[in-house]
Amino acid sequence: SGIKYDPQLAEKGKQYFSEIGCTACHSIKSLGISGGAVGPDLSKTLLGNPGAGGSVIGRFFKEKGLENPAADPQKAAELLKEYLINPPQYSTTMKTQVQAYKATYSNWATDQVPALVELLKEAAAKASG
């Protein structure tokens, strides 16, 4: 796949993913990370397809003008950052979560988010590779 990622930053993202508690709701099967099934498996989130019908991230990408995330993974990564910093109104669960994360982690937008997005880039690279 043409998805490039920074392995060190992705590794940091992996630590955050479990520390922050993302695994309470999500797994990333392409990376062998198991977790809850409340939320979708995030292996292909970067591609706009967490495998669930009516995908919130797919809708978010479309609204931001990204019809085919697989064709522009860099743009998809930028939009994922935006989503994790300020989820849309219709993404009610994540909106609540992100508010809590921002209250807990003072550098959420500049530290945790880029690392988590890098993790999701690695996940998509392995899922589509």
CA–CA separation, 30 and 11 (whole Å): 14
pTM of the entire predicted model: 0.93
Contact 67, 48 (CB under 8 A): no
Structure tokens at 52: 């669930």
Whether pLDDT at 64 is above 60: yes
pLDDT at 48: 87
pLDDT at 2: 80
Between 27-31, 35-39, 72-76, the lowest mean confidence (pLDDT) is in 35-39
pLDDT at 128: 75
Average pLDDT over residues 26-44: 93
pLDDT at 37: 86
Beta-bridged to residue 28, according to DSSP, are: 33
Contact 113, 12 (CB under 8 A): no
Task: State the pLDDT confidence band at 40, using cuts at 50, 70 and 90.
Answer: confident
In this prediction, what percent of the chain has a pLDDT beyond 90? 82
Q: Mean pLDDT over all residues of the chain?
A: 92
Buried b / exposed e along 13-43 (16+ C-beta atoms within 10 A): bbebbeebebeebbbbbbbebebeeebbbbb
